[in-house]
Amino acid sequence: MSTAQPPVPVLPGTTGSELTAGKLPQRAVPAVYGVAALAAVGLALAGMNRALAIVLAAAVAGVFLVGWAWLVEGRRRAIDRLVTISVTSAFFAALAPLVSLVETVAVKGSARFDAEFFTSSMRNVVGEGGGAYHAILGTLIITGLATLMSVPIGVLTAIYLVEYGRGRLKTAITFFVDLMTGIPSIVAGLFAFAVFAIFFGPGIRMGIMGAVALSILMIPIVVRSTEEMLKIVPNSLREASYALGVSKWRTIVKVVLPTALAGMITGIVVAIARVIGETAPLLVTVGAITSVNGDPFNGRMSNLPVFSYDSYRSPGVPPEPYLQRAWAAALALIIIVLALNLVARLVYRRYGTHLR
């Protein structure tokens, strides 16, 4: 005796044929995009702009895949593939300028990325030769001083906002932190210059002035990143500490801060990367110099952003050596930022995973 099988339920907005439709071959997507890549190479060799050839080939491949999926898999899966292709294309479109930037700087900066570039300054150098030792030293000193000033202020401010702040004072501090986040970098430089000019005269230029200007830009980033890390620390940890009779400040120092340490370090590194390439405030406060100066409290101090800008703005004759040094300084800046991010990831692995 046979019994009738119940009908397969059909989802709203679909048809029964779509639920039993076929699927594209497993290698369909890589095959289509492989052909598109070959087509892009062919178009580029034929004289078309490389970026335009890649975009055109990817667009044709996407349209072909969606149409093929519509015929074989049905409307729902075709729309799903369309959204997937759109999101993936948006990701690569956002990634392309970064890749192009790194490629351009690496290719043009490698011409002067030699030992002399890191061991010599531009003192008494005209034309070829010379290096950016004085600028690298100045960048490390100025950024280090800015970090030493910004991190304690930013971390303590974030602790107050999360653990202690109440009422109008907390609202005012939050408002001014948000306001400082949008301050143009040149305004921070002019502020630092104006403050020091009051005490030392209008012609003053010192490395500490640049550090103060950069710290103004760093503080709101440190405050915001630290505040967010402290907020995600579970309240159960605080309550457990209080239940054991631990005071509030010891709970913050021994429980809250260690738990949020990895994220706080990441935020600090982001703040350093944000300011290490600033040019405008350092032009106003530090100026430019061709010799080595390791004293941030005495005279002008060179740095990589200003060195690169000055080499590009006022090249000598012939201009090629100056432009090569400018690109090499930009490449050195990128490598420093990458090194900082690598250190942050190592610290996060060491402390973040241990605390979890």
For residue 353, pLDDT beyond 60: no
Q: pLDDT tens digits, residue range 72-87?
A: 888 888 888 889 888 9
Residue 246 CB partners (closer than 8 Å, separation 6+): 254, 255
pLDDT score for 5? 52
- Please tell me the CATH code under which domain 118-355 is placed: 1.10.3720.10
- pLDDT at position 217 is 92
Report yes or no: 329 and 137 within 8 Å, Cβ to Cβ: no
What is the pLDDT confidence band of residue 46, given thresholds at 50, 70 and 90?
confident
pLDDT tens digits for range 214-224: 999 999 999 99
Structure confidence at residue 16 (pLDDT): 47
Q: What is the pLDDT of residue 355?
A: 45
- The domain spans of the chain are 16-109, 118-355
pLDDT score of 288 more than 50? yes
Give yes or no for a cis peptide into 152 (omega within 30° of 0).
no
pLDDT of residue 4: 53
Q: pTM for the full model?
A: 0.78
